[in-house]
């Protein structure tokens, strides 16, 4: 399944210096890199993907269960790329081996966006901005072809990835099966500031004369172990074509609260609504609190590590 706009995006990605399409004979190698990424996130094992033996690969796939099943390289739903260092071409150096991986769908999802997966950078190449520049490249290619941007999923228990995407300014647009995050042209730049235990969610002001001006939409803090969430006057006035800013501001702030270990539940009534199934896919912080319970239970049952999670017991309170 392919789409003309998506294929033009892939033409741009293939022509750029930072990505190289995975060739037909490289499918098994890409699969090992993908497996390495999954094992690091789920099990905490950091391994050189090109050093994995056949027996080690088999053990990892058995430990990861359904998550570790190998894909078919020639599927029609996405195209896979090696991440390269674009400075090598400018410096006239001979290109070295791949430094990471990414896959991009060939069919738009949601409202005119492409789904990204398999984003991984080899440990020796980290802290060089390769993942950030790769995501920027995908976003710019999408915008050049009149798509809004990209979406991706990550696991709540992969805290380093979660915090990375939040620091990149991605919006939270789903928590149905995993944490869904996105960079979309109709969602403005946002910031979350923290002062004396209070978090403020701000977005770029489209009406401001000064560039970079931000306006607050939501303010959150905790009292007696419960969340207090306040909407500003600007929040009430905010309107956009899809009504997405107001909606996703609540879910995005919720994840920022969660990684800080702050409460996500305002009271008995809101928690009861979450337990009954409200906000199960996206919405208010109580929905995320309920989903975190599910994410952690599933991860525990699958043998995934649960270290490095912040204040899990404070995310949801049983009233």
What is the CATH classification number for the domain harbouring 33? Answer: 3.40.630
**pLDDT score of 311 more than 50:** no
Return the higher-pLDDT residue of 57 and 110: 57
Return the higher-pLDDT residue of 212 and 185: 185
DSSP for 49-85 reads GGG--HHHHHHHHHHHGGGGPPPPTT-SSEEEEEE--
Q: What is the DSSP letter of 109?
A: B
**pLDDT score of 171 more than 90:** yes
User: How would residue 94 be classed by pLDDT, with cut points 50, 70 and 90?
Assistant: low
Looking at the domain assignment, is residue 175 inside a domain? no
Whether 205 and 289 map to the same domain: the answer is yes
Statement: the pTM of the whole predicted model exceeds 0.75: yes
What pLDDT does residue 7 have? 95
Q: What is the mean pLDDT of the chain?
A: 90
What pLDDT does residue 124 have? 94
What pLDDT does residue 97 have? 87
pLDDT tens-digit readout, 232-243: 999 998 887 668
Q: At how many degrees (to 10) do helices 285-301 and 268-275 cross?
A: 50
Looking at the domain assignment, is residue 179 inside a domain? no
Looking at the domain assignment, is residue 185 inside a domain? no
Whether 150 and 8 map to the same domain: the answer is yes
User: How would residue 110 be classed by pLDDT, with cut points 50, 70 and 90?
Assistant: confident
Q: Torsion-angle region of residue 243: left (phi > 0), alpha (psi -120 to 50) or beta?
A: left
Domain count, the chain: 2
Whether 67 and 139 map to the same domain: the answer is yes
Whether 149 and 9 map to the same domain: the answer is yes
Provide the CB-side half-sphere exposure for 168 (13 A, CA): 23
* Percent of the chain whose predicted confidence (pLDDT) is above 70: 90
Number of H helices, E strands in the chain: 11, 11
Residue 260 β-bridge partners: none
Q: Cα separation of 262 and 194, whole Å?
A: 12
Looking at the domain assignment, is residue 169 inside a domain? no
Whether 126 and 214 map to the same domain: the answer is no
What pLDDT does residue 69 have? 72
Over range 163-179, report the average pLDDT: 97
Looking at 129, 154, 179, the residue that finishes a domain is 154
User: How would residue 135 be classed by pLDDT, with cut points 50, 70 and 90?
Assistant: very high
- Determine the structural domain holding residue 93 and report its residue range: 4-154
What is the pairing mode between strands 179-184 and 198-204? unpaired
Whether 97 and 202 map to the same domain: the answer is no
What pLDDT does residue 81 have? 98
pLDDT tens-digit readout, 245-289: 999 999 999 999 999 999 999 999 999 999 999 999 999 999 999
What pLDDT does residue 317 have? 53
**DSSP 3-state of 272:** helix
Whether 138 and 244 map to the same domain: the answer is no
**pLDDT score of 304 more than 50:** yes
């Amino acid at each position: 399944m392919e789409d003309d706009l998506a294929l033009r995006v892939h033409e741009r990605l293939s022509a750029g210096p930072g990505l190289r399409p995975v060739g037909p004979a490289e499918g098994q190698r890409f699969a090992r890199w993908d497996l390495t990424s999954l094992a690091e996130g789920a099990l905490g094992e950091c391994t050189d993907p090109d050093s994995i033996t056949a027996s080690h690969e088999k053990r990892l796939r058995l430990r990861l269960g359904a998550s570790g099943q190998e894909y078919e390289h020639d599927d029609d739903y996405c195209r896979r790329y090696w991440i390269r260092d674009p400075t090598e071409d400018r410096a006239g150096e001979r290109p070295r081996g791949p430094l990471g991986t990414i896959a991009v769908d060939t069919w738009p999802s949601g409202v005119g966006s492409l789904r990204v997966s398999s984003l991984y950078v080899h440990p020796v190449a980290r802290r060089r901005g390769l993942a950030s520049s790769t995501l920027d490249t995908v976003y710019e290619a999408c915008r050049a072809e009149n798509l809004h941007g990209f979406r991706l999923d990550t696991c709540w228990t992969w805290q380093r990835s979660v915090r990375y995407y939040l620091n990149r300014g991605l919006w939270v647009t789903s928590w149905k099966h995993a944490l869904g995050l996105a960079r979309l042209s109709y969602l403005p730049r946002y910031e979350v500031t923290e002062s004396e235990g209070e978090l403020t969610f701000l977005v770029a002001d489209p009406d401001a004369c000064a560039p970079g001006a931000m306006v607050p939409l939501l303010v959150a803090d905790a009292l007696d172990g419960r969340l207090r969430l306040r909407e500003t006057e600007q929040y009430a006035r905010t309107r956009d074509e899809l009504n997405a800013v107001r909606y996703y501001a609540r879910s995005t702030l919720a994840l920022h609260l969660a990684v800080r270990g702050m409460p996500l539940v305002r009271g008995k009534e809101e928690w009861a609504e979450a337990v009954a199934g409200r906000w199960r896919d996206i919405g208010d912080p109580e929905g995320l609190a309920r989903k975190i319970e599910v994410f952690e239970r599933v991860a525990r049952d699958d043998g995934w590590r649960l270290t490095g999670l912040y204040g899990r017991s404070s995310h949801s309170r049983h009233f």
